[in-house]
Amino acid sequence: MQPIFLKPVLKQTIWGGHFLAAEYGLDIPGTDIAEAWMVSGHPVGDCTVKDGQWQGWKCSELWQQHPELFGKSAGTDRGQFPLLIKLIDAASPLSVQVHPDDAYAAAHEKLTDGTPCLGKSECWTVLQALPGSTLVFGHTAKDRQQAEEMIRQGQWERFLCKVPVHPGDFFRIDPGTVHAIGGGIQILEVQQSSDITYRLYDYDRLQNGKPRPLHLQQSLDVMTVPFIPRSENPKRLPVSVKRGTATLELMEKCDYFSVQRLQLQGSVTLPAAERFCAAVVLQGHGMLGESPLHKGDALLIPCCKAPLTVSGELQLVLSFPK
């Protein structure tokens, strides 16, 4: 089966910039585009097929009407397209926030059609970061009472944990983790198909003359307290496998998806797969079978019984649902 190329959905916010247009050539109006939803079937950002047999179809329509493309099976996605992949440009810091797990999201949040929402597990690959950049990852509170006191008293310097960031770093953000992308950082994010963000602190910024809403009670409900990182260093080191001229790095494997980064100078054969794969080309150009690949492309690779050949000089991130 041929790959299915998608048009990104662009999102404007007060913290966005111009990186996505300058770096990936996306057709962006204005200079405050914060996110490009590269692969998504979520109702508030449903990608459209660019060309070919399915031109004009929404990603969610393909998912519902052509399961043979995806190898769908019952799982954790509750019938929804399971992945959401974004390019994010944080020209200014994002709000300090926290996301719910599946159980809390299903109990408290619904889509417009009444479907219970998914929780939000996510991971980040840092594409660029200005020297001295930091992000928020975790907090210092020993128990929930102390967390609430520090939050309501605005003791953010004491409460928040910050870590330095460099291009190539990788972070896994589990539900319940207090976090925020700092200004001057651009990332690729792979996550569950969820748009739930509980905003804890927004630096007292104004949007259209008013502060943006906060979600203090929901944040306290879902926050992991105390916060215990997997290691002293929250950055994850990938597991690399060399295949001739290709390096395949396993960046993440969790209950919802796995993420691999392929760096290639030459060609490599991808094995046949029982479920689909979503890909974003971060650098270079090449071919996937007979289809050209260019920097900034986002595509679905349908499940197929035959292996696929990738060739060229490129870097792409491959995301697989569980």
> Which CATH number belongs to the domain containing residue 303 in this structure?
2.60.120.10
204 and 244 co-located in one domain:
no
Q: Is the same domain home to 307 and 204?
A: no
pLDDT band for position 79 (cuts 50, 70, 90): confident
The tens digit of pLDDT for each residue in 31-49 reads 789 999 999 999 999 999 9
- Asked, for residue 84, whether it belongs to a domain, the answer is yes
How far apart, in whole angstroms, are the C-alpha atoms of residue 185 and residue 127?
8
Q: Identify whether 229 is part of a domain.
A: no
**Same structural domain, 198 and 250:** no
**Shared domain check, 100 and 42:** yes
DSSP 139: E
On whether residue 232 sits in a domain, the answer given is no
Mean pLDDT of 105-126: 95
CA dihedral sign of residues 73, 77, 78, 79: negative
DSSP class per residue in 147-207: HHHHHHTT-HHHHEEEEE--TT-EEEE-TT--EEPPTTEEEEEEEES----EEEE-TT-EE
Domain boundary among 175, 191, 222: 222
Burial 172-195 (b: 16+ CB within 10 A, else e): bbbbbbbbbbbbbbbbbbbbbbbb
In a shared domain, residues 69 and 121? yes
Given 192, 222, 252, the domain boundary residue is 222
The reported pLDDT for the residue numbered 78 is 53
Given a cut of 70, whether residue 316 has pLDDT beyond it is: yes
Residues 64-93: what's their mean pLDDT?
83
Tell me if 233 is assigned to some domain.
Answer: no
Q: Are 123 and 201 in a shared domain? A: yes
- Asked if the structure places residue 234 within a domain, the reply is no
Neighbour-count burial of 125, counting CB atoms closer than 10 A to its CB (0-12 exposed, 13-18 middle, 19+ buried): buried
Check residue 83 and give its pLDDT.
97
Does 218 share its domain with 271?
Answer: no
Residue 68 lies in a domain: yes
Are 124 and 170 within 8 A, CB to CB? yes
Out of 158, 192, 222, a domain closes at 222
Give the tens place of pLDDT for each residue, 247-257. 988 899 999 99
pLDDT at 73: 55
Closest by alpha carbon to 83, among 222, 277, 270? 277
What's the domain count of the chain? 2
Segment holding 23, helix H or strand E: helix 19-24
**Whole-Å CA distances, 288 to 27, 33, 293, 294:** 24, 29, 7, 10
User: For residue 15, which of 162, 219, 207 has the smallest C-alpha distance?
Assistant: 207
Residue 96 lies in a domain: yes
Average pLDDT over residues 163-168: 93
Q: Give the active site residue among 172, 199, 236, 261.
A: 199
The answer to the question of residue 137 being in a domain is yes
pLDDT at residue 235 in the model: 58
- Its domain, for residue 245, covers 239-321
Do 214 and 263 fall within a single domain? no
Mean pLDDT computed over every residue of the chain:
91
In the residue annotation, 236 being an active-site residue is answered as no
Specify whether 260 is located in the same domain as 210.
Answer: no
263 in the same domain as 209:
no
- Do 52 and 19 lie in a common domain? yes
Residues 63 and 193 placed together within one structural domain of the fold? yes
